[in-house]
Amino acid sequence: MKLENKVAIVTGAGRNIGEAIAHRLAAEGANIAVVDLEGDRAENVAADIKAAGGKAVGLTANVADEDAVKGLVAGTLAALGRVDILINNVAISDNKHILEITKEEWDRVMAVTLGAPFLMGKYCAEQMVAQGAGGNIVNIASTSGWRGRPRALAYTAAKGGVINLTRSMAVQLAPHNIRVNSISPNKIGSPVGKENFDPTRPVTNLAGHPGEPDDMAEAVLFLVSDSSKFVWGENLFVDGGCMAMESG
């Protein structure tokens, strides 16, 4: 197993991409802190992991709140003993034009989509440094962070921030043997903030179909395992070739 006895925190893990990531890392031997704002979702995913023979705990937290993040890290330590891996997956979108979006909507998207990866990164990295054994952090970005969109503003700005947050985190944490990378998906699983996945929705990519949460889970596994031990501060596009088609 690639992650035997490692402890991984996965945010937004109650459904969709986060749920798939939690299951995939658990299948490789990691003990999982399943984090979601909706506690029943977190508990259900943790129960499924345990039913499959893994070890997991469901934790409820608003990861955009500093005190909640501190409590989450403490709860993970109490339940699982350490922190080796962090997957910053949680995000919300605005889907608004600049002439429509309110300051309140902007602030909320920034707090969750960019602020949460900062807070989680800070306090998980502190624990990793204290343990002295290094670690891995993967921030889930988006192709939206690389280009403008007609119906999203705060989300595109926040995801662009996640991409450069990743680079700066990588530079600053490398001396502690903590590898930080990001993944930019495009149209994988259900849209941000939506419950249902429509496999027939139109996409523009080289694959000719939308991605599935398991596609992201496999990419995350690669980045947190020794298979990618020489990959530092990088972004991996998991987008079916969408960005390769950009004409500039």
User: Which one of the listed residues 155, 210, 223, 225 is annotated catalytic?
Assistant: 155
DSSP for residue 8: E
Please indicate whether residue 123 is annotated as part of the active site: no
**Angstrom distance (rounded) from CA 90 to CA 111:** 11
Strand segments, DSSP code E, in the chain are 7-10, 31-36, 56-60, 85-88, 135-140, 178-185, 235-238
CB 140 within 8 A of CB 183: yes
> Which neighbouring-strand residues pair with 36?
60
Kindly list the domain boundaries of the chain, sorted by start residue: 7-245
% pLDDT > 90, the chain: 92
**Angstrom distance (rounded) from CA 145 to CA 166:** 12
Residue pLDDT, tens place only, 201-235:
788 999 999 999 999 999 999 999 999 999 999 99
Residue pLDDT, tens place only, 125-158:
999 999 999 999 999 999 999 999 999 999 999 9
Q: Which of 247, 242, 152 minimizes the C-alpha distance to 204? A: 242
Please check the confidence at residue 92 and state whether its pLDDT lies above 80.
Answer: yes
Name the token pair of 51. 């039913």
Superfamily in which the 7-245 domain is placed by CATH: NAD(P)-binding Rossmann-like Domain (3.40.50.720)
CB 197 within 8 A of CB 16: yes
